[in-house]
């Protein structure tokens, strides 16, 4: 029968990710990384024919730890949620980052993580909604409002469309509807931004982070209990004896969980998820790996610069 293939790569404090069909964007502790797929080179990567996609490093935007959470590949811009500075920003080739937008209640551009801005929903290639754990304007102020201080903000108008959430994460627009993970309650919510109303699609036994869709199904990341000092005592912990780490598949029409991939060792938290449509066995290599230093891609031409193929001087 069919089996699951797992390809592991280690990154330091990896959080947000995005994929646009060719490029893969990753946010790590000290860099925003852009990879690009080379299908041709993939077929000769290690075992011929084993992989059908190979993501090679292309661009790196190094930075101090900005606590970057969600990221997005726009048609002409890369967007990132700069949690430390409470803003949406672009990476820059002149500065550490270029601030673009911040909630109305944030009065200063300072590295104080005042509201724990964390989630970004894109629509038609542009920001549409942003989530935060509170609407506080003091250094670390969100920490006193974790249970019911969460908000979702309309990017264009700046208006708060819903309040009272429990650690909201991963807002997403799918087929015209706005969804958000009410993480601390273990809920997937469907939101009507015009009315400010919420509908519980499903409840799961884990902190929820990472949301994407495939047709009429949602794929949701589940996490076990996070740092107890900061995130302990949330409703989802009280409701369940044990929290899971893994990936749940939800039928949006019924709210039924139709699949679960549980991770029982080696990992307790997920942050984000993407479906690489049409790719069965992708691979990714680090910038300093020998494979990355031997792979050459130019328009219309692809080469593996293998030692045995090099012509010596």
Confidence (pTM)? 0.94
Q: What is the pLDDT of residue 266?
A: 87
| Sequence spans of domains, the chain | 17-30+65-212+271-276
Superfamily (CATH H level) for 17-30+65-212+271-276: TolB, C-terminal domain (2.120.10.30)
Report the alpha-carbon distance of residue 56 to residue 42 in Å, rounded: 10
The reported pLDDT for the residue numbered 7 is 82
209-213, 229-233, 248-252: least confident range? 229-233
Q: Is 260 exposed, middle or buried (0-12, 13-18, 19+ CB in 10 A)?
A: middle
Report residue 240's pLDDT band, with 50, 70 and 90 as the boundaries: very high
Least confident of 33-37, 42-46, 83-87, 203-207: 42-46
In the predicted model, is pLDDT for residue 187 greater than 60?
yes
Work out the number of other CB atoms within 10 angstroms of the CB of residue 239: 12
Outline where DSSP puts E strands in 31-149. 31-37, 53-62, 68-73, 78-82, 87-90, 98-101, 117-123, 126-132
Determine which of 17-26, 111-120, 196-205, 219-228 has the lowest per-residue pLDDT on average: 219-228
pLDDT band at 311 (very low <50, low <70, confident <90, very high): low
Whether the pLDDT of residue 309 is over 70: the answer is no
Count of all residues that appear for the chain in the document: 313
Q: Is the pLDDT of residue 64 over 70?
A: yes
The token pair at 290 is: 């020998």
Average of per-residue pLDDT across 305-313: 70
The first and second tokens of residue 250, run together, are: 């939800």
Mean residue pLDDT of the chain comes to 94
Q: What is the average per-residue pLDDT within 192-221? A: 97
Given this model, what pLDDT does residue 229 score?
65
| 128, pLDDT greater than 80 | yes
Report pLDDT for 277: 95
Q: Which residues, other chains included, contact 215 with Cβ-Cβ below 8 Å and sequence gap of 6+?
A: none
Mean pLDDT score, 114-123: 98
Q: Which token pair is 53?
A: 């996609």
The pLDDT value recorded for residue 74 is 96
Instruction: Identify any residues that bridge with 309 across adjacent strands, giving them in sequence order.
Output: none
Predicted local confidence at residue 193, as pLDDT: 95
Return the structure tokens found at 201: 């699609």
What tens digit of pLDDT does each residue of 279-302 get?
A: 999 999 999 999 999 999 999 899
């Amino acid at each position: 029968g069919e089996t699951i293939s797992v390809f592991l790569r280690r990154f330091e404090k990896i959080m947000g990710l995005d994929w646009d069909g060719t490029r893969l964007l990753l946010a790590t502790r000290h860099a925003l990384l852009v990879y690009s797929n080379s299908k041709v080179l993939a077929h000769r990567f290690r075992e011929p024919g084993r992989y059908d996609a190979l993501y090679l490093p292309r661009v790196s935007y190094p930075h101090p730890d900005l606590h970057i959470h969600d990221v997005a590949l726009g048609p002409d811009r890369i967007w990132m949620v700069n949690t430390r500075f409470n803003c949406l920003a672009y990476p820059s080739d002149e500065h550490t980052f270029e601030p673009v937008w911040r909630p109305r209640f944030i009065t200063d551009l300072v590295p104080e993580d005042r509201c724990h801005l964390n989630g970004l929903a894109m629509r038609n290639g542009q920001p549409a909604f942003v989530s935060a754990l509170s609407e506080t304007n003091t250094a670390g102020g969100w920490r006193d409002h974790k249970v019911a201080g969460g908000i979702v903000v309309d990017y264009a108008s700046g208006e708060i469309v819903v309040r009272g959430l429990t650690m909201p994460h991963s807002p997403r627009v799918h087929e015209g509807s706005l969804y958000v993970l009410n993480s601390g309650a273990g809920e997937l919510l469907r939101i009507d931004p015009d009315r400010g109303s919420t509908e519980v699609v499903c409840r799961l036994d884990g902190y929820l982070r990472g949301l994407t869709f495939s047709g009429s199904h949602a794929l949701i990341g589940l996490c076990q209990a996070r740092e107890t000092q900061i995130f302990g005592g949330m409703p989802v912990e009280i409701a369940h004896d044990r929290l899971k780490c893994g990936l749940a598949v939800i039928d949006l029409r019924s709210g039924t969980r139709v699949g679960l991939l549980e991770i029982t060792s080696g990992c307790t938290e997920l942050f984000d998820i993407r479906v690489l449509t049409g790719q069965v066995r992708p691979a990714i290599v680090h910038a300093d790996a020998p494979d990355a230093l031997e792979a050459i891609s130019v328009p219309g031409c692809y080469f593996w610069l293998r030692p045995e193929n090099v012509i010596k001087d």
